Chains A and B, each alone.
Chain A
């Protein structure tokens, strides 16, 4: 097992996973494969309850938007799986935040929402992403919240082939903590069975 540790500055969207071989700016939703999301634990205890995820949604839209946007009006039921035509096609991780891109393969509508660490103590979500070139799914374990000793942390663990990559997210300037605009970096510990 080889361990390699390094640090990377994030630019633009930073860390994004897409269910297809394309850039997020050139995303053609219908060509994406659906990503499966599973709630693994809540506050450090194993759970499969989706309500924790519903409660973690940062409702950053207003009531007027809900009147005209089906997705925003029904996001909770979309997360609960009541509308299977709405699928996750992409997710994006920043410090304290997971943003999910949804696509309705019937109506061709899109929607997005973010899970915020501020709304939950700790959440651990697993994503199973179909391989673009065939083969087994890639697994991503995304966790954020307060870990041991009250330390706040956002981490992604990637499982791919013979490699496990642990990626921790940080703001460059602790005083600038807007996940959508302030600069961030990641520290990576890569375990590879050569």
Chain B
């Protein structure tokens, strides 16, 4: 078997295509070994030699690591759409156990409606269509990999991160469709966010929350209305902003607590006044310095920017709110 040093993008391109053909799991070490370097292998997998093809007990663990490494490469250096295609091609998608030709057809049926690489592409020969798409991705990935391979600090940092994730079972052996579910709960989430189109980031929605003051305290009513700035709600938006009731409950509970704290810590306020100062310290512009009289209702429009996880955790609503899993 040829020994690869992987000194150029074309070598990586060629090797990735060879690995795809047949049983990727058995050959992926040919790619990973030269990327991570002999020193790392000797240190972490002392019973493995890169120059020989050993498949022993420790070898299985090393092969598992190599598979995890390849999965991480796809997740780290490719867009979600491209990563999903590559996971399918290399046999890392759950439920795609057929041979490559059938996997491609099956994946096309599942994903051509949402995967941008496949959208509007119609050929009778789905196998050839997918192969062509994969080859284009492999070419781009090879260029990215040779660049990072030549930057020793970056490849070392990436390798250590993958090793840590691998040791803590944070990298699944197979991912389920759509892989965005995995991304939402993984350390790759920031990279994923970075890939979202700028236009998508700018989309803002408002969630209308109605506040009402009653004699016995503050009662909150949540109308759970989501209104995008442009006024149009499409299916995709509805999916993106489908925050669960638990989240809303958590948000509202936080607001209630904070408002109560504010009220308690306002020594100069006239206790006989029926007016209540609401949300002075928060970014809910419609309620800033606003007051409610007893029995009166006010609506707060809380901006929610997709994807919600980052923005909410930055304190638009409250830092203590956890995004529901």
Residues of chain A touching chain B, judged by Cβ–Cβ distance below 8 Å, are 12-13, 23-28, 30, 58, 60-62, 64-65, 99, 101, 108, 110, 112, 114, 180-181
**Shortest distance from the beta carbon of A170 to any chain B beta carbon, whole Å:** 19
Say whether B20 contacts A26, CB under 8 Å: yes
Binds A, one of B115-123, B164-172, B218-226: B115-123
Contacts of A101 in B (CB 8 A): 128
**Shortest distance from the beta carbon of A178 to any chain B beta carbon, whole Å:** 8
Say whether B120 contacts A64, CB under 8 Å: yes
Contacts of A27 in B (CB 8 A): 17, 135
Say whether A25 contacts B17, CB under 8 Å: yes
> Sorted from nearest, which 5 A-B pairs have the closest CB atoms?
A25-B21, A26-B18, A60-B124, A26-B17, A26-B21
Knowing A25-B17, A64-B120, A65-B121, say if A12 contacts B128 (CB, 8 Å). Answer: no
Report how far A101 CA is from B10 CA in the complex, Å: 20
Contacts of A26 in B (CB 8 A): 14, 17-18, 20-21
Of the A-B pairs whose beta carbons lie under 8 Å apart in the complex, a sample of 28, sorted by A's number, is A12-B99, A13-B127, A23-B18, A25-B17, A25-B22, A26-B14, A26-B17, A26-B20, A28-B10, A28-B13, A30-B10, A58-B124, A60-B122, A60-B123, A60-B124, A60-B125, A61-B121, A62-B120, A64-B120, A65-B121, A99-B125, A101-B128, A108-B139, A110-B132, A110-B135, A114-B125, A180-B126, A181-B105
**Shortest distance from the beta carbon of B112 to any chain A beta carbon, whole Å:** 13
Q: List which B116-164 residues lie within 8 A (CB) of chain A.
A: 120-128, 131-132, 135, 139
Contacts of A180 in B (CB 8 A): 124-127
Contacts of A13 in B (CB 8 A): 101, 127
Interface flag for B71 (CB, 8 Å):
no
Contacts of B127 in A (CB 8 A): 13, 180
Contacts of B20 in A (CB 8 A): 25-26
**Shortest distance from the beta carbon of B200 to any chain A beta carbon, whole Å:** 22
Q: Chain B interface secondary structure, helix, strand, loop or mixed?
A: helix
Say whether B124 contacts A23, CB under 8 Å: no
Contacts of A58 in B (CB 8 A): 124
**Shortest distance from the beta carbon of B18 to any chain A beta carbon, whole Å:** 4
Interface flag for B86 (CB, 8 Å):
no
Contacts of A181 in B (CB 8 A): 105
Report how far A192 CA is from B21 CA in the complex, Å: 33
**CB nearest to A92 among chain B residues:** B128
Most central of A25, A27, A30, A110 by chain B CB within 10 Å: A25
Report how far A24 CA is from B132 CA in the complex, Å: 11
Report how far A61 CA is from B125 CA in the complex, Å: 11
Report how far A110 CA is from B133 CA in the complex, Å: 10
Interface flag for B100 (CB, 8 Å):
yes
Say whether B17 contacts A28, CB under 8 Å: yes
Say whether B105 contacts A99, CB under 8 Å: no
Contacts of A23 in B (CB 8 A): 18, 21
Report how far A193 CA is from B22 CA in the complex, Å: 36
Report how far A26 CA is from B125 CA in the complex, Å: 18
Which of B18, B128, B139 makes the CB contact (< 8 A) with A99? B128
**Shortest distance from the beta carbon of B71 to any chain A beta carbon, whole Å:** 20
**CB nearest to B136 among chain A residues:** A110
Contacts of B22 in A (CB 8 A): 25
**CB nearest to B139 among chain A residues:** A108
In the complex, besides A23-B18, A108-B139, 10 extra interface pairs with C-beta distance below 8 angstroms are: A12-B99, A26-B17, A30-B10, A60-B122, A60-B125, A62-B122, A65-B122, A99-B125, A110-B135, A114-B125
Contacts of B122 in A (CB 8 A): 60-62, 65
Report how far A27 CA is from B128 CA in the complex, Å: 12
Report how far A114 CA is from B128 CA in the complex, Å: 11
**CB nearest to B100 among chain A residues:** A25
Contacts of B17 in A (CB 8 A): 25-28
A-facing mask of B19-40, CB < 8 A → 1, else 0? 0111000000000000000000
Knowing A62-B120, A110-B132, A181-B105, say if A28 contacts B14 (CB, 8 Å). Answer: yes
**CB nearest to A72 among chain B residues:** B123
Most central of A30, A58, A64, A180 by chain B CB within 10 Å: A180
Contacts of A65 in B (CB 8 A): 120-122
Report how far A114 CA is from B123 CA in the complex, Å: 10
Report how far A23 CA is from B17 CA in the complex, Å: 9
**Shortest distance from the beta carbon of A116 to any chain B beta carbon, whole Å:** 9
Report how far A180 CA is from B125 CA in the complex, Å: 6
**Shortest distance from the beta carbon of A157 to any chain B beta carbon, whole Å:** 24
Contacts of B10 in A (CB 8 A): 28, 30
Say whether B105 contacts A112, CB under 8 Å: no
**CB nearest to B17 among chain A residues:** A26
**Shortest distance from the beta carbon of B99 to any chain A beta carbon, whole Å:** 7
